């Protein structure tokens, strides 16, 4: 009976020894797992996470950022507005819903060119 448990433990240990390195993905991407899913040319993958050259990357604001300069208020939002009573600004080619008092970004609505269509 003890021998049966001993064999079971050895088999379980061997299975774990094989499964753990396979699950870790050692050797795939040479330790660069954050870029493994990107299909970018080698020069671009190292410089940007969006597969574009650094000088072509557009700056866009994220939730919680403050838009303080170079923006245009949108007086009457179109059908694209999720909240018709919200405050919207256009900055850097993108449209954002913002808090009117703090100018804090609540959400990115989309690219200005996409919303015009």
**DSSP SS3 for 66:** strand
Q: What is the pLDDT of residue 106?
A: 94
Separation of alpha carbons 78 and 9, rounded Å? 67
The pTM (predicted TM-score) of the whole model is: 0.51
Rounded to an integer, the average pLDDT of 71-98 is 89
Residue 103 has phi, psi (to 5 degrees) of 60, 30
In the 8-state DSSP scheme, what is residue 72? E
- Encode pLDDT of 22-78 as tens digits: 555 555 555 554 545 556 666 665 555 556 666 555 677 889 999 988 899 998 888
Dig out the tokens for 109 from the structure: 């609505």
User: Where in the chain are the domains?
Assistant: 1-57, 58-117
Angle 34-38-44 from CA coordinates, rounded to 5°: 95
Q: Is residue 107 classed as helix, strand or coil in its secondary structure?
A: strand
């Amino acid at each position: 009976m003890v021998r049966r448990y001993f064999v079971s433990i050895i088999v379980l240990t061997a299975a774990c020894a094989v499964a753990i390195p396979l699950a870790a993905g050692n050797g795939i991407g040479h330790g660069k797992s954050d870029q493994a899913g990107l299909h970018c040319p080698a020069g671009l993958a190292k410089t940007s996470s969006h597969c574009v050259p650094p000088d072509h990357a557009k700056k866009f604001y994220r939730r919680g950022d403050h838009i303080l300069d170079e923006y245009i208020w949108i007086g009457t939002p179109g059908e694209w507005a999720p909240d018709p009573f919200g405050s919207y600004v256009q900055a850097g080619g993108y449209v954002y819903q913002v808090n009117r008092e703090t100018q804090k970004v609540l959400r990115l609505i989309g690219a200005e060119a996409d919303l015009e269509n």
